[in-house]
Amino acid sequence: MVNFILIIALFSMLLFLRIKYLNLYKKVKFVLFVSIVFLMVFLIVIYPSEIIDATRSGIILWANVVLPSLLPFFIGAELLIGLGVVKFIGVLIEPIIRPIFNVPGEASFVFAMSITSGYPMGIKLTSNLRRNNVISKSEAQRMAAFCSTSGPLFMMGSVAIGMFNNPSIGPYIVLAHYLGAISVGIIYRFLILGDEPDFHVPSKRKNIFKEAFIEMFNARQQDGRSIGKLLGDSIKESISTLVIVGGMIVTFSVLIKELYLIGFFDYIISSAKFFSFYNINISNSLIEAILIGSIEMTMGAKIASETISVSPILQVTLATMIISWSGISVHAQVASITNDTDISLNSYIFSKLIHSILSGIYVYFLLKITDFSLGPAYQEAFSKGTQNVSNYTWLNKLFFSTNLFFTIFLTLAVIAVITGILKRN
């Protein structure tokens, strides 16, 4: 089967060589995409039962975990943006956010929602704000760079407890992940991303609360939709986005299964033995974790937790880097969400690469400084963690996410009011 893939690749290369003139890059991408789709369909015909199992796993993951976890955040955030409440919070917090990240105060709301609910919430909200011209293109690029994070429930529950069977590593992963995101935001603060290269210093306001209310009412009037239509549109838009996310999850679940079936990963792992000539010994499980993690972070983090051929600190470091990279699966979700905006996908992917490197450095030194030790992760840990999570019903997860959304929103509102009071004095 690997030979079949090589034949497809050779055919594509020969076809590429015939294309010598205009739009070479676009034609190359098109031919490559067609070849990949053809191969995926061909493998579905050859391995129907295995593909059905992979599809079922992806659908169950989406329906039981992603849907109840993200639905309240998507609907609630859409309503708050339409009502102008996000604008109110943004005006109050902008004096703090703008000097650090060179983005408007609305970024505080987007970042809070992202670190609470996880991928792809931050990108969804950033795209909405850009689509409604609330933020500029450069501000959207900066927000997309640091407001795209994993959620603490995934890192603490699924990774630390479910995969490593050690809750004590959770805070290390969470802290390093969010420090990495903040660092990326600061780095992008100094980058010229298009339409607003100059740093903007907010003007001194005589009455910041009055201006916040005025901006909120203006945003509500510009939206113009009735409460009923706003609610309906919020639900429709949220469900539509979640269906796209679910489709991406299923697609990449099938893709990874197909790559396993044709022996692609085994071929890459065996080819990596070439490095032995340079006295570099890389274990098969480590290569597998990197390969799978580059595509899908959950499976990659799981394999990293089982890679006992490296030190425990490197296990945690690799898992943290995979989570921060988020995988091509999440990148595909981002591409679909930002498709009708001018947010650059290349800039976003570059920011995730920086995020992965920085979070890996942070967690490595945090573990070294605290002299952290971790016993070998048991392979049964992930299944036990999954069973514990499955004990929560679908409604329990939905209610928990709803309560968490309101808690974060009220906390952010209180911080905004306190900031406004201090700024006013």
pTM of the model: 0.83
Distance CA 382, CA 385 (A): 5
Report residue 5 CA to chain centroid gap.
30
The answer to which of 107-111, 370-374, 377-381 has the lowest mean pLDDT is 377-381
Answer for the pair 12, 32: CB distance below 8 angstroms, yes or no.
Answer: yes
Nearest C-alpha neighbor of 214 from the set 225, 203, 222: 222
What is the residue-averaged pLDDT of the chain?
82
Report pLDDT digits (tens) over 55-89. 998 898 888 888 888 889 899 988 998 889 998 99
Q: SS3 helix, strand, coil % of the chain, rounded to 5?
A: 80, 0, 20
Give dist(CA 262, CA 292) in Å, integer.
Answer: 15
Identify which of 168-172, 358-362, 371-375, 398-402 has the greatest average pLDDT.
Answer: 358-362
Closest CA to 155 of 180, 188, 128: 180
At 198-231, the pLDDT tens digits run: 444 444 556 788 888 898 998 888 888 888 899 9
State whether residue 402 is helix, strand or coil: helix
Look-up of token digits 């903040």 = 182
- Contact between 291 and 265 under an 8 Å Cβ cutoff? The reply is yes
CA 323, 328, 333, 337 torsion-angle sign = positive
Residues with Cβ within 8 Å of residue 286, at least 6 apart in sequence: 307, 309, 310, 318
- Residue 18: its pLDDT value, please? 52
In this prediction, residue 197 carries a pLDDT of 45
Closest by CA to 172, choosing from 421, 370, 341, is 370
DSSP secondary structure, 237-293, as one string:
HHHHHHHHHHHHHHHHHHHHHHHHHTTHHHHHHHHGGGGGGGT----HHHHHHHHHH
Domain residue spans of the chain: 1-46, 47-424
Residue 41 has pLDDT above 90, yes or no: no
> What per-residue confidence (pLDDT) applies to 142?
93
Q: Which residues contact 248 (CB under 8 A, 6 or more apart)?
A: 329, 332, 333, 336
> Which of these, 136, 58, 171, 145, lies nearest to 355 by C-alpha position?
145
What are the residues whose beta carbons fall under 8 Å from the beta carbon of 12, sequence distance 6 or more? 31, 32, 35
Q: Which two tokens stand for residue 411?
A: 């906390």
Q: Is a pLDDT exceeding 50 seen at residue 387?
A: no
